[in-house]
Amino acid sequence: MDVNVTYGDGTIKLVIPEKNLAGIIEPKTTKTSADVQSGIERVLDNPHGPLLSDISKSKSVCVLVEDHTRDAPHWAMISAVVPRLTDANRVQFIITTGSHEVNHPGNLEIVDMIKRAADDVKLTNYDVTIHDCQSKDMIDLGETRRGTPVIVNASAIGHDVYVSLSDMKAHYFAGYSNVVKNFLPGLCAFKTIEANHSLALNPRSTFGIHPFHPDESRRNNPLADDMREAMGIITRKAKIFLVAIITSNRKLVWADAGHPEPVTARGMELLDETSSFTVTPRTRVVVSPGGYPQDKSLYHAQRAIELTKNAIVDGGQILFLAECRDGIAPDSAIENFYNKLTAPLDDVIESISGRYHLYEHKAYKFAELLKRVSRVLLYSKLDKETVQAAHLESVENPQTVIDEWINEDPDVKILVLDKGNKIAVYAN
């Protein structure tokens, strides 16, 4: 049978006989709305707590907008929120890049969206900043109890109201993408992000666990809790107003707004229902991050491997479909992610047991996986030498891999995991 798997801006067709298909795992089909903006406006009119227009009146407001690496419906979110800020004294928009690329065309497009939305309602008392974690324009607010220095973009300090626009999904070490990530790493200095992300090496820093989770037994994620504490240090006594959504193929699955904790908890509950899966691990697995921008580089695509790695048995093989049109990684991550990964795998793991450097957790986790499985075969736009240097195998045609697996074992069961950056897989 034909199996269409997302890749870049389109799909790849794989032909897998029905008897060899163990299943196709992707976010569960739910009722969606193509009119994303109207859905967001409805929850803004009925939030948990007071209306955004009321709490922003005559106040200084900081709006946190996720960057271009998130396939969120940026225009719908921005254009729904901006009209409710016209009575604010001033509005500071910040694109929360964390340690991601700053002047990427996608971020510049988001800046233009903000300006268009502001012009539409004649909002003039505003400014737009793309966060740069290497900027000198930072303020040190102290430390979390885990010792993470909270050094923050100066533009984000001293506001009365913080509005976070968050597209929620599973996250392989922060538990879930949610409100706290817009603050740390979103607004913070490189040193802060590095200290926080060193906690990614802790086994409890994984998907499905977060301090806002409605299940008390699933709240002990040290990295996410460090983010939560940093958010409190940054905002102090200010109000936080969250606009949270869950999307599928750019359509709206769910939206809610208002106080961060109840909104976030409900989003996590829904993600557990629609995007979490318990599977029987298989020897042969196909993984796709979910197309662009989820597969924009190997650095970004790796999230899908981490979120789905429980589906592969020790010694198994993974066919990884990730376009990587933007290359291996952002320039800032090449040294501690890709270059680190090209060393012998035991050396990669050994080297990170000392002082942690930002992005090394990705090399560490990739090395652990590569030692556990027999092969990771990558279909991408990367050249063969670049791929092989990172202990991966470059393939020219993904169908030939499927055919090879079946020829080796006519009874093989192949599990397909699509949109891997938006699912969480557990082994039964």
Cα angle for residues 73, 166, 288 (degrees, 5° grid): 65
- Count other C-beta atoms under 10 Å from residue 250's C-beta: 12
Cα distance between residue 174 and residue 186, in whole Å: 13
For residue 106, give both structure tokens: 């996608």
Q: Is 119 helix (H, G, I), strand (E, B) or coil?
A: helix
* Helix/strand/coil percentages in the chain, nearest 5: 40, 25, 35
Q: How far apart are CA 39 and CA 253, in angstroms?
A: 9
Place of tokens 């939030």: 47
Asked if 94 and 65 count as a contact pair (C-beta separation under 8 A), the reply is yes
Q: Selecting from 2.40.110.10, 3.40.50.300, 3.90.226.30, 3.40.710.10, what CATH number does the domain 2-27+280-427 have?
A: 3.90.226.30
SS3 assignment, position 36 = helix
pLDDT, residue 354, reads 67
Cα-atom radius of gyration of the chain, to the nearest Å?
21
Q: Report in angstroms the alpha-carbon separations of 404 from 6, 20, 317.
A: 21, 12, 12
SS3 for 311-346 is: HEEEEEEEEEECCCCCCCCCHHHHHHHHHHHCCCHH
The dihedral through the CA atoms of 207, 212, 218, 220 has a sign that is positive
Q: Using an 8 Å Cβ cutoff, are 422 and 290 in contact?
A: yes
pLDDT along the chain (428 residues), means of 10: 96 97 92 90 97 98 94 94 98 96 94 98 97 97 98 98 96 95 97 96 95 97 98 97 91 95 96 96 98 94 96 98 96 93 94 82 94 98 97 98 98 97 95
Can you give the residue ranges of every domain in the chain? Answer: 2-27+280-427, 36-274
Residue 182 · residue 66 · CB < 8 Å:
yes
The 8-class DSSP code of residue 162 comes to E
3-state class (DSSP) for residue 251: strand
- The superfamily CATH assigns to domain 36-274 is LarA, N-terminal domain (3.40.50.11440)
- The beta strands (E) that lie in 135-275 are given as 138-143, 149-153, 161-167, 169-171, 175-177, 239-248, 251-258
For residues 201 and 172, give the distance between their C-alpha atoms in angstroms, rounded to a whole number: 11
Both tokens assigned to 325: 């049109």
Give CA–CA dist 223/201, Å, rounded.
Answer: 9
The pTM is what? 0.90
| CB atoms inside a 10 Å sphere around CB 346 | 10
**Which pLDDT value is given to residue 356?**
87
